[in-house]
Chains A and B, each alone.
Chain A
């Protein structure tokens, strides 16, 4: 197993170099004066400035390979560069935004999995009967809804009409305590930090801001988990030992709970790994609609402003995350299920 892990880790630099190289190749399509738009962001900001001076100042006229080498050199010194669109060093931007994304992912994963499994179980139990069709249709509609439509609708209902779940990460009052008061930021996760600081009010405020984005994400992902749960449950239900259990006269509830569901959940567990990854990569639209300041929103904004140092930094980070999480998932899977052999 150790050689397997080592081999996978050896592959890490390849991915990272490949990813960053691709961005630089894409960058080479841009002229220095297109890149100036990172500094002069809109026609309104175009004043009595010399574009040439800006190009010279920020070295935008350097050939792409020179910039790549410089960037690599700085990377080895631990410097990811400065992000103009985020107004801070790239490393700091990631360090600040990533906890927000982690928090959203953690809160989303629970209802996504529970709801998906619940729907999947209903579907499997009532295979090809109206309740199966109903729960599948419900989930597939969610899957078919573009997230920006559904997110905006939720925002309208739960904030506009009811006033329950506001956008952002914290209310203004909580924000000012977190930013300026004697509030220690241990993790950057508002909910966790609030509890650690003994501020239940801030905890609930943070939770309140998470509900609507989590609802959006959950409805989008349920169809996926429903399908996995349903088919693996159906598979298990056809297995001999389940039939035997039934024949023994065990109640349906016991059969389902003890035999079927437990075995059917192994594939769900693996899928969850890739789902967490998807969530951590940043959910651009949900973050945009709910003004939730996470990694996805940061990167999307940066990309649109041609802030390539930021895009490089975040994709590098994401590549790293992807390789590591995949590795962890694979290894865990092998540990849980002895039939799986790592190769």
Chain B
């Protein structure tokens, strides 16, 4: 039903097609952009063609050109797709799990326990998100794993709150009361009865956040706190373009390829999620059912 609606809407249709494209690129990355022998042990390392610094325009050998540091843009964009999915999925997955476990347990148990947990959540939410992420990555050091940790630490709270609200509602339903009266164990009730009825909106919400997670991760890369230098990562590819974006005075777009390709990749990737998400919200929003 939902899928049908998504397919009928031109915006979400475009989003789905884009996403499909990205999935294909990610899956077939080793065939689209084969790894050279030298870097065989680390395919995520973008090959450099020379030790210099200047970008080079697209050529037959390097269809998207070379960015600052002579890194191959095409290779970086293709393998960067995998990085984007990786970061997006892991961060979403982990923060979702943590959020669901903490949020649902807290709501189900309720009382003082719930109160304490929620204050705890409040504390996490009192940090400006990006600054918190900067602090964590600076302390932990550079690397995608560190970025993921930083994002998870400050992302789970949103899901915890969301599921808590839902569980609090469901808790009052008669069939839960009945199960409790019937002596079914709390864990069973939570897993069998409560979660299936509350988890769906959280999952939707989480998948819609994929885009913003990828943007945040790339923002950290832009600030020099993300992926290690030379790792296939769109944010870093854009940060390579940072010093070249102005072009030369007589040709403002002299280095267009350094920013356009990775920029396009990240914008389209995020756009695809946001288009789907926007349509999803329309479908889910009870107020717009006209």
Bound complex: CA of A127 vs CA of B134, how far in Å?
40
Stretch at the interface among A24-32, A108-116, A330-338: A24-32
Return the contact of A231 from the options B140, B275, B287 (Cβ within 8 A): B287
Q: Is the CB of A281 within 8 A of B119?
A: no
> Within 8 Å CB of B97, what residues of A?
none
Given contacts A144-B267, A144-B271, A160-B246, contact A303 B119 (CB under 8 A): no
The verdict on A30 contacting B222 (CB below 8 Å), with A19-B126, A144-B271 known, is no
Size bracket of the A interface? 35 or more
Nearest CB in chain B: distance from A311 CB, A: 6
- Interface residue ranges, A against B (CB under 8 Å): 11, 14-15, 18-19, 22-23, 26-27, 29-30, 127-128, 133, 136-137, 140-141, 143-149, 152-153, 156, 160-161, 223, 227, 231-232, 234-235, 237-238, 281-282, 284-285, 288, 296, 299-300, 303-304, 306, 311, 314-315, 318-319, 322-323
User: Is the Cβ of B245 less than 8 Å from the Cβ of A152?
Assistant: yes
Please name the residue on chain A nearest to B253 by beta carbon: A156
Q: Given known contacts A137-B11, A144-B211, A161-B252, is B270 in contact with A15 (CB within 8 Å)?
A: no
Instruction: Give B126-184 interface residues, CB cut-off 8 Å to A.
Output: 126-128, 130-132, 134-136, 138-140
- A140/B275 contact (C-beta < 8 A), A14-B123, A23-B135, A231-B288 known: yes
Tell me, rounded to whole Å, the shortest Cβ–Cβ distance linking A98 to chain B: 13
Per DSSP, chain B at the interface is helix
Contact indicator B219/A285 (Cβ below 8 Å): yes
List the A side residues contacting B271 at CB < 8 Å. Answer: 140-141, 144
A128 and B5 alpha carbons, distance in the complex (Å): 12
Q: Contact partner of B128 among A11, A160, A282, CB < 8 A?
A: A282
* Structural contact, B131 and A299, CB atoms closer than 8 A: yes
Contact for B215 among A146, A237, A296, CB less than 8 A: A146
Interface residues on B, range: 35 or more
The 7 A-B pairs with the shortest beta carbon distances in the complex, nearest first, are A18-B123, A235-B287, A281-B128, A144-B270, A144-B271, A319-B126, A303-B134
In the bound complex, CA of A311 to CA of B90 (Å): 28
Residue on A nearest B279 in the bound complex, by CB: A136
Q: Which residues of A contact B103 (CB under 8 A)?
A: none
Knowing A156-B252, A285-B222, A318-B126 touch, does A304 contact B238 (C-beta < 8 A)?
A: no
What is the bound-complex CA distance between A284 and B245, given in angstroms?
A: 20
Starting from the known contacts A146-B235, A318-B131, 14 additional A-B residue pairs (CB-CB under 8 Å) come to A11-B119, A11-B122, A15-B123, A140-B274, A141-B267, A148-B239, A148-B242, A149-B267, A231-B281, A234-B287, A282-B128, A306-B138, A306-B139, A315-B128
Q: How would residues 106 to 127 of chain B score, 1 for a CB under 8 Å from any chain A CB and 0 otherwise? A: 0000000000000110111111
Residue of B11, B139, B266, B274 near A146 (CB, 8 A) is B266
**Interface: B10 (CB within 8 A):** yes
Answer whether residue B58 sits at the interface, using C-beta atoms and an 8 A cutoff: no
Q: Which residues from chain A contact B230 at a C-beta distance below 8 Å?
A: none
A232-B287 Cα distance, complex, nearest whole Å: 7
7 CB-based A-B contacts, threshold 8 Å: A15-B126, A144-B270, A146-B222, A146-B267, A299-B128, A303-B131, A314-B131
